[in-house]
Amino acid sequence: MQSSQFNDVTLHKEFKWLNEPATWQIESHSLRVITDNKTDFWQGTWYNFYFNTAHVYGVDISDDFNFTACIEADFTTLYDQAGLTIYLDEKRWLKAGIEYNDGQPMIGSVHTNGTSDWATGEYHGDPRKFWLRLTKVRDVVCVKYSTDKVKWTLLRLCQFPVSEKYFVGLMCCTPQRQGLEVKFSDVSVSVPNKDILHSN
């Protein structure tokens, strides 16, 4: 997908699955997914396990971009997750969104460049419906989240490997169970502003 095609995102044209779940469907302009069992992205750190099984419905993008979506789910079980991902290969990716941890849904992100890190914090909104934006400019990725698609809060700023193309998409997984139902809607891809840190 080139920047000249960044207007309307059609979820069934250029999108494809990484780790397709058993149950999913496109409804109008939304995607509904029910997660498979023991699905996750993680590489090594602390837990010493290696998962590359999270569900991602994404598209290849070669230019700088904003990728934005509304995400709805009822997170109830340890490590239930839904959000967005930018992915190059099993060892180089970033995922961000809501993850159930310490008895509550938390906002967080994991950046993997060989091994995984994890940064998380309390989410001060309704975790059952939120917006997430993943922006890539040159070798930098910026992640922001919103409770209303008006005010955006910075979640992460990090370097990311330069590539000819990036697989970017809607991500969900459940390491401890199956059956999390997730709805993705309001999906858009656009050209980022010059100031990715201080613009909505």
Fold of 3-190: Jelly Rolls (2.60.120)
pLDDT at 165 over 50: yes
User: Residues 87-106: pLDDT tens digits?
Assistant: 999 999 999 999 999 999 99
Residue 192 DSSP class: P
User: Under DSSP, is residue 3 helix (H, G, I), strand (E, B) or coil?
Assistant: helix
User: Residues 147-163: pLDDT tens digits?
Assistant: 999 999 999 999 999 99
Distance between CA atoms of residues 173 and 164, nearest Å:
27
* Residues 6 or more apart in contact with residue 73 via CB below 8 angstroms: 80, 82, 98, 128, 172, 180, 181, 182, 183
pLDDT at 1 over 90: no
Say if residues 109 and 156 touch (Cβ distance below 8 Å): yes
Quick check: pTM over 0.85? yes
User: Residues 102-147: pLDDT tens digits?
Assistant: 999 999 999 999 999 999 999 999 999 999 999 999 999 999 999 9
User: Residues 20-61: pLDDT tens digits?
Assistant: 999 999 988 899 999 999 999 999 999 999 999 999 999 999
Residue 28 pLDDT: 83
Q: Which of 188, 174, 190 is nearest to 35 (CA)?
A: 174
Say if residues 96 and 143 touch (Cβ distance below 8 Å): yes
* Residue ranges per structural domain of the chain: 3-190
Q: Hey, what amino acid is at 184?
A: F
Write the CA distances from 135 to 35, 83, 192, integer angstroms.
26, 14, 7
Residue 199 pLDDT: 81
